[in-house]
A = this chain, B = another copy of it.
Amino acid sequence: MTQDPLVIFTPSGKRGRFAVGTPVLTAARQLGVDLDSVCGGRGICSKCQVSPSYGSFSKHGVTVAEGALSDWNKVEQRYDDVRGLKPGRRLGCQATVQGDVVIDVPAESQVHRQVVRKAASARAVTMDPATRLAYVEVAEPDMHVPTGDFERLKTALAEQWDITDVTADLAILARIQPVLRKGAWKITVALNQPAEGAAHRIVDLWPGFFEGPLYGLAIDLGSTTVAAHLTNLVTGEVTASAGIMNPQIRFGEDLMSRVSYAMMNPGGDAEMTRTVREALDTLAREIAAEGAIDPAHIVETVFVCNPVMHHLLLGIDPVELGQAPFALAVSGALEMSAAELGLTALSPGARSYILPCIAGHVGADAAAVALSEEPEKSEDLVLIVDVGTNAEILLGNTSRVLACSSPTGPAFEGAQISSGQRAAPGAIERVEIDPDTKEPRFKVIGCDLWSTDPAFAEATAATGITGICGSGIIEAVAEMRMAGLLDPSGLIGGPDKTGTPRSEPQGRTFAYLLHNGTAEGGPRISVTQGDIRAIQLAKSALYAGARLLMDEMGVDTVDRVVLAGAFGAHISPKHAMVLGMIPDVEISRVSSAGNAAGTGARIALCSRAARARIEAQVRRITKVETAIEPRFQEHFVAANAIPHATAPYPNLRSLVPLPQVSFNAGSSGDDGGNRRRRRRPA
């Protein structure tokens, strides 16, 4: 008796012998080959496309002959006529094994396909979303075996998909009957399984075959801004991104103000919870509109946020986070219904996952940065700073990872700045000041030209020049320092000392005029002494946090720095170092990770394995509490100078000249910022 044909799948290399006539999909399933299917092998979904190696040749040690698979059939022909199949492709559920064959599973036919998420680092995420589609054909009701429609649907899932542990909420139970009848007992369900081995929950259902795709929302819920990425849960691609201001700002610009608001106002926490949930609901609708998808196709959300936002989102009074020992109500990862968080625009069965918090001041956003940047896999000692209203700081390598958070305040996001604004078209985002003439030039968001370009006025006529955003103010301050307009203590020089009329008196201090309005009467944009002080406070807090972790690690330098955060990508490393935001390091060793917290949220959205990974990793991270560490205050005060004065900065000195100037005449009414202290928790 001859042997059954040998089937080899690439790229997995899995192989086995199957009887003549076995469908390729069946063979793949039996071997555990990652071959997608939504319709369960009925020739409807075309997700199981494969590329067999035809012809008589030897490959992988097997001689493949013509006719190794069954002939092209009617179902494939119909699919090709209607939707088109790429040359050489077969439907795995239609083509059957006839002889020895090598079958390639292209990336788009793999459920657990790898998605390269960043060209630079070539890091990849393997798709493993918690929610996926399954098409089933359900038995019609039978009066003599009077089971419920839900029970027959479960039987179908068990028989056709081998999925046995299935639950559904009331809202889904109420929809099963009409959907089954509309689809003539054919139905596609979205099944959510939050972790391997957990029960499957039906989160949505459609009559007949529903192709998808399903979407998820990765949401970085910051104190000042909220950023969301609408993500395709099959490909991992971002379909649309959107951001809004956090409307809780009216209760307090920084986190501690909001905690105070909750303490001082009965019901204040519930008011803030309602406010942010409403904003998230609006954001979800807007992003779906921007992505031109039905918001009901969004079945998952992942949240990353700092601990105060975490508690306010969940409806937990954050009062304990405002005082030592800064106890979190709950620190572990949470999985729940999105509707419980007030997200009404999504699929009614949509789920929410919230990453674990690391400590009372180090939240799920820091965990997301850790998930994205993986300091625990770095051989180099890497410092990761996620810049926002609160800075999340990680320092570590393969042997140990430390984390802390530092209350920088919203200055880096353009708040508390006289002409500040969030990053939006019309905002100044790049600044250069000529050290000789002291004349500035700048770029605004939405225009690639410098302001000195003759075509600039026309190019920016539509947006105007509306203000200065976070990266713009950082560059402006650093450039002022390099141009000798600002001394190391942070004082702006008057026109008599700087020699430029752009140094304008403003009360007892001076301001540097960046932009004198437009012909159409746009705003005058200056950098004031107050702006400098706000930036100094913010950058000192950031640096002090990093320095505290370095102390804890027992080092004076780091091997590399990663700038993350919503505008981390826009900060020039040189300017950040001139400002003294980060420790001195070779400039080529400073990189940007973009919105690492948002990336971490997207990774958790696409991969249950990643969720499990970060849940385990946060327990291994050593937490450092800046609020109770006396050295934090010392580092903070010492870091006030521009650049900071707490350590030598050989790399910076070799990079740019820093004029030795001093504008302190003892009469400026400004003591260099030392009188002002950021509010700290009691």
Contact = CB atoms under 8 A, between A and B. Distances in A.
Interface string A289-323: 00000000000000000000000001111011000
A358 interface: yes
Contact of A173 (B140, B142, B150, B330): B330
A324 interface: yes
A551 interface: no
Contact of A149 (B151, B170, B329, B336): B329
A259 to B, nearest CB: 13
A331 interface: yes
Nearest to A320: B177
A327 interface: yes
Contacts of A176: 329-330
Contact of A170 (B151, B314, B324): B314
B331 A148 contact: yes
A360 B328 contact: no
Given A174-B316, A316-B174, A320-B177, A623 B327 contact: no
B315 A146 contact: no
B146 A625 contact: yes
Interface in A165-205: 169-171, 173-174, 176-178
Given A170-B336, A177-B320, A625-B143, A148 B314 contact: no
A22 B146 CA distance: 56
Contacts of A326: 141, 143, 146
A428 to B, nearest CB: 40
B149 A328 contact: yes
Nearest to A152: B327
A327 B153 CA distance: 13
A327 B359 CA distance: 52
A21 interface: no
A316 B358 CA distance: 42
Chain A interface residue count: which class? 35 or more
Contacts of A143: 324-326, 359-360, 625, 628
A498 to B, nearest CB: 46
Interface string A537-554: 000000000000000000
A362 B146 CA distance: 10
Nearest to A627: B143
A174 B331 contact: no
B170 A315 contact: yes
A285 to B, nearest CB: 23
A169 B144 CA distance: 40
A357 interface: yes
A147 interface: yes
Nearest to A361: B146
Contacts of A425: none
Interface in A323-343: 324-332, 336, 340
A138 to B, nearest CB: 11
A150 B328 CA distance: 8
B148 A357 contact: yes
Nearest to A319: B177
A177 B322 CA distance: 13
Given A174-B314, A174-B316, A332 B150 contact: yes
A146 B144 CA distance: 59
A324 B324 CA distance: 66
A187 to B, nearest CB: 13
A149 B330 contact: yes
Nearest to A146: B359
Contacts of A141: 325-327
A680 to B, nearest CB: 14
Contact of A327 (B148, B336, B625): B148
Nearest to A315: B174
A400 to B, nearest CB: 15
Nearest to A270: B174
Contacts of A151: 330-332
A627 to B, nearest CB: 9
13 contacts: A141-B325, A143-B325, A143-B326, A143-B359, A146-B625, A148-B328, A148-B332, A149-B330, A150-B329, A151-B330, A170-B340, A174-B317, A177-B319
Given A143-B326, A143-B628, A174-B317, 11 more contacts: A141-B326, A146-B360, A146-B623, A148-B329, A148-B332, A149-B320, A149-B329, A149-B330, A151-B331, A177-B329, A178-B317
Interface of A: 140-144, 146-151, 169-171, 173-174, 176-178, 314-317, 319-320, 324-332, 336, 340, 357-360, 362, 623, 625, 628
